[in-house]
Structure 1
Amino acid sequence: MIGFTIIDLLALAFFAAAWLGYHYAVELGPHAGKSLNMRMNLRRARWIRESLGRDNRIVDTQVMNGLQNGTAFFASTSMIAIGGTLASLQSAERVVAIFADLPLNAAPTRAVWEIKVIGLAMIFGYAFFKFAWSYRLFNYCVILIGALPPARGHDPEEARKAVHETVEMNVAAGRHFNRGQRAFFFALAYMGWFLGPVSFIAFTLAVLIAMYRRQFASDASRVFRYPGAPEPDRPAEP
């Protein structure tokens, strides 16, 4: 690739492998059931099952409003990040001149700088689509909560199907939200590339360790470590 060294390409490959590897570890791997995200999915399922026994579901709609508001915030932040990133393309020559004065191994050319900026904008674009879709799925989940059978006098089979649909929709919304946040974190790692390939690898490794620790060894993950805590690979069927 014109303007990029072998080390640059290796650093980019390491970045992609780290992202895909983390995705596998927390969503598909043999220990994914012990991740904080999966443990919270169990609580999502428990929440929906508990809501079936309530005549008044105002509390449930308030919880959903909180989830939607948080998702909308990140979606709008993604748009701002995309705009700010693309705006930096207009200052490419000035930025290249600044980097030339820094004690780096090699100052980037304008073409290299622009390619890196476009790559960063693509990451934020991916995050936006994930947050926007998550927001839509939470909207669907509100409808499904409203469609849950009444607390008393419902058909058990109908109630089971309704709870299952609501749980799966809620889990799917949370999954896409988590992937959007993951893109934000890896965007921080990607910014290391502007300082050079070695910094890119170091930033990626630091972000990967921090994210992995939060899922499997953080104080939040230890909340669920008590005798008898459920640890299936996915939420149990209602």
Structure 2
Amino acid sequence: MSAPDLLRLLWPWDLLALALLVISFAGIARVIEHPPKGRPSVTVLMAEYRRDWMRMMAARETRIFDSQILTSLRQSTSFFASTVLLSIGGVLALAGNPAPLTGLAAGLTEEGDPEVLWQVKLLVVAVLLALAFLRFVWANRVFGYCAVVMASVPNEVTDPDCEPRALRAAELNIRAALNFNRGLQAVYYAIAAAAWLVGPAALVAATVVTTWIVWSREFASVPRRVILR
């Protein structure tokens, strides 16, 4: 089926709902990473704590605690990457045989929707999950870079390489955390994209709810108030 034929299968509301999903996904990431002045996001606030962490790490004689924290962060990225990879397999398997899905959703959507339309909707979910997987894998690798740079920080605080290397480790840590956060956002919006199987109205509602959840956790959550104290 050609692209024009596929577009004819989609209602204008479908295209508008999909556009809202894409714009919201890209827009919320932009707002979180570049928040308005005077209202920093949790991501931005935690970046300063990560820099402070590396400064304190450089001054510590024993750094076992720091290595344990970094190991825990890497394990989190590995867990999410593995989970998302399994989810991608499940979505692709369903896209290869959407007949069960067609029967399940027959009472919720218009009858007679061709299988290719279900496959397109599932493809959007799979693409978002794939983006999440790539983010988690890259975050894991950058945390690994951070670990190597941390290990290269001299034990003597007076060493001229001590602070510069600690700050490099901090920036790598921040970058890894940023990619991990983007991966989580992709997972959130993949779940929202699954609502498209019900219809464009469900996709719009799921996108709005997901955007509000992501925004509130970064700008109006209890952890943010605790960090700002």
Q: TM-score range by the shorter chain?
A: over 0.9
Write the distance in 2 (CA, Å) between the matches of 1:145 and 1:30: 32
Structure 2 counterpart of 1:192, one-letter code:
A
Does the CA contact (< 8 Å) of 1:99 and 1:107 recur in 2?
A: no
- Pairing of 1:198-237 with structure 2 (within 5 A): 198-226=201-229
Q: Hey, what does 1:197 align to over in structure 2? A: 200
Higher deviation after alignment, 210-219 or 82-91: 82-91
The answer to whether the 8 A contact 2:55-2:163 is kept is: no
Q: 1:154 is paired with a residue of what secondary structure?
A: coil
Task: Give the equivalent residue in structure 2 for 1:124.
Answer: 129
1:146 aligns with 2:151: yes
Taking structure 1 as the reference length, the TM-score comes to 0.89
Using the alignment, how far apart are the partners of 1:74 and 1:201 within structure 2? 26
Write the distance in 2 (CA, Å) between the matches of 1:215 and 1:72. 23
Shift in Å, 1:163: 1.7
Structure 2: gaps spanning 5 or more residues: 1-6
Change (3 A) 1:32 1:107: farther
Matched, 1:47 2:50: no
What TM-score, normalized by structure 2, do the two folds share? 0.92
Structure 1 residues 53-84: Cα deviation after superposition (integer angstroms, max 9, x where no partner): 01111111001100000110001011101101
1:18 equivalent to 2:24? Answer: yes
Q: Match for residue 169 of structure 2? A: 166
| Offset of residue 34 of structure 1 | 1.0
**CA–CA separation in structure 1 for the residues paired with 2:52 and 2:125:** 38
The change in CA–CA distance for 1:152 and 1:36 in structure 2 (over 3 A counts) is closer
Q: Structure 1 unaligned runs (5+)?
A: 227-238
Cross-structure match for 2:3: none
After TM superposition, give the deviation of residue 32 of structure 1 in Å: 8.5
Rounded to whole Å, the distance in 1 between the matches of 2:112 and 2:29 is 33
2:193·2:206 contact (CA, 8 Å) conserved in 1? yes
Residue 181 (structure 1) aligns with: 184
Aligned counterparts, 1:100-115, within 5 A: 100=106, 102-105=107-110, 108-115=113-120
CA distance in 2, matches of 1:25, 1:6: 28
Partner of 1:81, secondary structure, is helix
* Whole-angstrom distance in 1 between the partners of 2:206 and 2:172: 34
Counterpart code for 2:198: L
Aligned partner of 1:147: which letter? S
Counterpart position of 2:97: 91
| Distance of 1:200 and 1:107 partners within structure 2 | 20
CA distance in 2 between partners of 1:59 and 1:138 (Å): 16
Q: Take 2:163 and 2:218, find their aligned partners in 1: how far apart are those partners?
A: 30
Which string of whole-angstrom CA distances, capped at 9 and with x for unpartnered residues, describes residues 83-133 of structure 1? Answer: 011111233123223322x04345532010011112211111111110000
Q: 1:152 to 1:6 in 2, by over 3 A?
A: closer
State the alpha-carbon separation in 2 of the partners of residues 106 and 28 from structure 1.
Answer: 44
Q: Which moved more, 1:200-209 or 1:81-90?
A: 81-90
User: What is the alpha-carbon root mean square deviation over aligned residues?
Assistant: 1.5
CA distance in 2, matches of 1:20, 1:39: 21
Given residue 102 of structure 2, which amino acid in structure 1 is its aligned partner? V
Deviation at 1:183, TM superposition (A): 0.4
Secondary structure of the 2:169 match is helix
